[in-house]
Amino acid sequence: MIAILILAAGRAARMRGGDKLLEEVDGAPCLTLLCNRALASGAEVFAVIPDGDHPRATALPALVHPVPAPDADLGMAHSIRAGIAALPPGTEAAMILPGDMPEIETADMQAMIAAFSTTPSQILQAATQDGAPGHPILFASTLFPEFETLTGDTGARRVIEAHRADWTLFPLPGQRARQDLDTPEDWAAWRASQSREP
- Does residue 5 sit in helix, strand or coil? strand
Q: So what's the pLDDT on residue 169?
A: 96
Q: Is the pLDDT of residue 17 over 60?
A: no
Across the range 150-157, mean pLDDT stands at: 81
Cα–Cα distances (Å) from 128 to 57, 62, 83, 132, 135, in that order, read 30, 32, 25, 5, 9
Can you list the domains of the chain with their CATH numbers?
A: 2-196 (3.90.550.10)
Give dist(CA 6, CA 8) in Å, integer: 6
Q: What is the pTM of this model?
A: 0.92
HSE, side-chain direction, 13 A CA sphere, residue 61: 18
